Amino acid sequence: MVNINKILMTVFILYFIILLIYSIFSYSLVDPNLVLTSNDIYWKFQNFMWKTFFHNSILTGYIYLFLIISLFILYFYILKKLKSKKVNLKKIFFNKYVLIFLVIIAPIAFSYNSLSHDVFNYIFYARMIAKYGVDTKLYTALDFPNDLWIRFMHNTNVTDVYGRGWTYFTLIPYYLGFGKFSLTLAAFRVWSYLCMILLYFSMQNFSMTLFKRRMNLYESAMVFLNPFFLIEYISNYHNDLLMMPFAIYGLSFLIKPITSQISDNYLKVKYFLVSILFLSISISIKYATLALLPIWFLVLLIYLFYYRLAKIVKRRFKINIDQNFIDKIFFIIVNKWIFYIPDLAATIMMLLLFTPRSHQFYPWYFIWVLVWLPFMKMKKLRNLLLVFTVSSSLRYLPWLFNGLEYSPKIIANQTLIVWIIPLIYLFTNIKTKIWTKIDHA
């Protein structure tokens, strides 16, 4: 029998190599006016990358296609093998699987944010507060034309579009950069890793609250080893990576009185207020998690309905029902649907991507959905959403093939890629099921 561990280790090594190649390749898209360091070795390397790839859009597009497809093939193979192993992650420190994961993703730490310029906006808005002492909602980057750091920004003519919470959070990595641009950029990379760790702890907390167990290795890998996740949130930096942990913590505290069968009304109110606090922090980072408010209202209405119903029963039938008995009945009934809250959260956040506010389904918005996948009961929907991570990653192809230029046609082609791949997956699955039924008829 083939040793699965050896096969997995081989696949892990391949995954590491492909990520390393991607990290090197990412420097082909460094802005020509951006000098990360004057080191002679780096400068020769950077000029080679520009000369070989930057002005060769066809080659750049095909290399990106090869890297993404390779990463996802390895990723889905890893998921398939891990699903049968059922390894629980009891500890994060000194855990061999966590150490393997950190080694595997190490190359992405040294990559360039080749597919997004948002981090330059984050840095300069923090700079506007720290250095110039102005309100980022009232001033634009163009108000500081002599500052060389605006050379790498996009949308320099608009005020800060991010939530206040995020802008103030970015002061932490900004100050750690000590006024040096390259050091500040590195500090933001460390910040991304810290946000990823916070996300991991929030998801483990949610799993413990909902399932009374920690996430297993398969569930964790579904998110944290996903190529889309690593490239969009660690390599490209995006504030959604900090927004979601607070939303997850908020939902954990919201459902804890139900899953833990807490009868103390004071404790229930306390948990509810803490959950609102965490959700408010999430909303302050980015307004998208406002869409999760219906879940809070739903849980609150269920509690109100439950207490009203209990009072009606006692008054109408004139019977003295023990409150503990009513609580037990309530928890039995509610626990039947509480496990579908992740599915509801994923669906709500997915629907949010259809709104005009989402600007043509920017790929990094998909983390709003991705973080709920390990907890979903509807496996078919979860698998379909995983396919969206593939199509979202491939969305950059028309832009790369067009020499990093946008046009209405390019945007239309990007939208087509995002949706056509999941539709093909759906059609293939439906067709397979139909033929299976015919064969067994």
Q: What type of residue sits at position 233? A: Y
Confidence category of residue 432, pLDDT binned at 50, 70, 90: low
pLDDT, tens only, 68-126: 999 999 999 999 988 877 666 666 666 777 888 889 999 999 999 999 889 999 999 99
Residue 179 sits at φ, ψ, to 5 deg, of 80, 0
* Distance separating alpha carbons of residues 76 and 54, to the nearest angstrom: 31
* Distance separating alpha carbons of residues 67 and 335, to the nearest angstrom: 43
Residue 321: predicted pLDDT: 59
Q: Is the model's pLDDT at 434 over the cut of 60?
A: no
How big is the chain, counted in residues? 441
Show Cβ contacts of residue 251 under 8 Å, excluding neighbours closer than 6 positions: 206, 275, 279, 292, 295, 341, 345
* Selection from 200, 288, 211 nearest residue 249 by Cα: 200
Helix and strand numbers (H, E) in the chain are 19, 0
pLDDT, tens only, 307-332: 666 666 556 655 565 556 556 666 66
- Specify the range with the lowest mean pLDDT, choosing from 39-43, 80-84, 291-295, 379-383: 80-84
- Specify the range with the lowest mean pLDDT, choosing from 35-49, 146-160, 278-292, 297-311: 297-311
- Higher-confidence residue of 222 and 8: namely 222
CB 171 within 8 Å of CB 130: yes
**H runs (alpha helix) in 84-180:** 96-104, 118-130, 164-169, 171-176
Q: By three-state DSSP, how is residue 125 classified?
A: helix
pLDDT, tens only, 335-368: 678 889 999 999 999 888 877 655 556 888 888 9
Residues of the chain with pLDDT > 90, as a percent, come to 55
Burial class (CB in 10 A: 0-12, 13-18, 19+), 107: buried
Q: Supply the DSSP symbol for 235.
A: I
Q: Is the model's pLDDT at 208 over the cut of 50?
A: yes
